Amino acid sequence: MDSFRDGFRPETYGDRIADVYDAMTADLPDPGDCADRLAELAGPGPALELGIGTGRVALPLAARGEAIPVTFGDFANVPVEPAEGGYPLVYVVFNTFFALLTQEDQVRCFAGVAGRLAPGGAFVLTGFVPDPTLYTGGQSVRASHLGLEQVRLDAARHDPVTQRVDFQHVLVTGDGIRLYPGAVRYAWPSELDLMARLAGLRLRDRWGGWRREPFDAASGLHVSVYEHAGVAAS
């Protein structure tokens, strides 16, 4: 019996956090750099975002002239019709890919993307580089924001076997305490590359940030660009 896992559903995170998501992510780097890079890769489009959320990235991209279809569904299945000729750009950013909580769902997602990606198109996936040292005794508590009127604590539980982290963003204000639960199944870049290979994709580029920073041992996140390998992996 695990009250967190028993109650947590794919929609739980988005349902609970939607109202405050944009304020909570306001400290993230300007999504403009991200939109610039994505617009270059999309060309005339259309682009397909998986896990679009509040449109934090999609709206700046749309402002650059991209058409972005919106479909409700589980993005493990990539439940959209293939665009004619395929999408020149499919993207999933800001750790959203890790919201698929099993390796099986993540592999299925890669396959679905490969089936919708245009020849020569780009599948862009960004995520954090896992760091199990963040967890002591399988848990962590971190003050991620400290203001005069509020504090945000991130409490997490880590399972290194399934590579899963269950977490609560705990927002404490004078009005009370709000809980925003979430969960990720993280994967190292090397595992993502293998998933890509299973789907007939290969890594074209990997940067340490949206300005094409080099990716190296000090990088905390990666921007990975996959493309069709040309021949199906055997």
Residue from 30, 74, 104, 213 binding ligand SAM (CB under 6 A): 74
User: Sign of the C-alpha dihedral, residues 205, 198, 187, 101?
Assistant: positive
Distance CA 118, CA 33 (A): 24
* Cα 97 to Cα 9: distance, rounded to the nearest angstrom: 15
- Indicate whether 181 belongs to the interface with ligand SAM (CB under 6 A): no
User: Is the Cβ of residue 24 or residue 203 nearer to ligand SAM in the bound state?
Assistant: 24
Q: Is 107 in the site for ligand SAM (CB under 6 A)?
A: no
User: Is 99 a residue that touches ligand SAM (CB under 6 A)?
Assistant: yes
Segment holding 202, helix H or strand E: strand 201-207
Distance CA 123, CA 89 (A): 6
Within 8-37, which residues bind ligand SAM (CB under 6 A)?
10, 13-14
Total residues contacting ligand SAM by CB under 6 A comes to: 16
- 17 vs 228, which CB is nearer to ligand SAM? 17
> What's the closest the beta carbon of residue 76 comes to ligand SAM, in angstroms?
5
Helix (H, G, I), strand (E, B) or coil at 5: helix
Q: How far apart are CA 37 and CA 14, in angstroms?
A: 26
Contact call for residues 206 and 224 (beta carbons, < 8 A): yes
Give start and end residues of each alpha helix (H) in the chain.
3-7, 12-24, 31-42, 58-63, 103-114, 189-198
The residue within the footprint of ligand SAM, chosen from 32, 43, 46, 51 (CB under 6 A), is: 51
Smallest distance from the beta carbon of 18 to ligand SAM, in angstroms? 7
Task: Say whether residue 57 binds ligand SAM (CB under 6 A).
Answer: yes
The DSSP output letter for 189 is H
Near ligand SAM by CB under 6 A: residue from 53, 121, 127, 209: 53
In the list 39, 41, 47, 76, the residue contacting ligand SAM (rule: CB under 6 A) is: 76
**List of residues contacting ligand SAM (CB under 6 A):** 10, 13-14, 51-53, 56-57, 74-76, 93-94, 96, 99-100
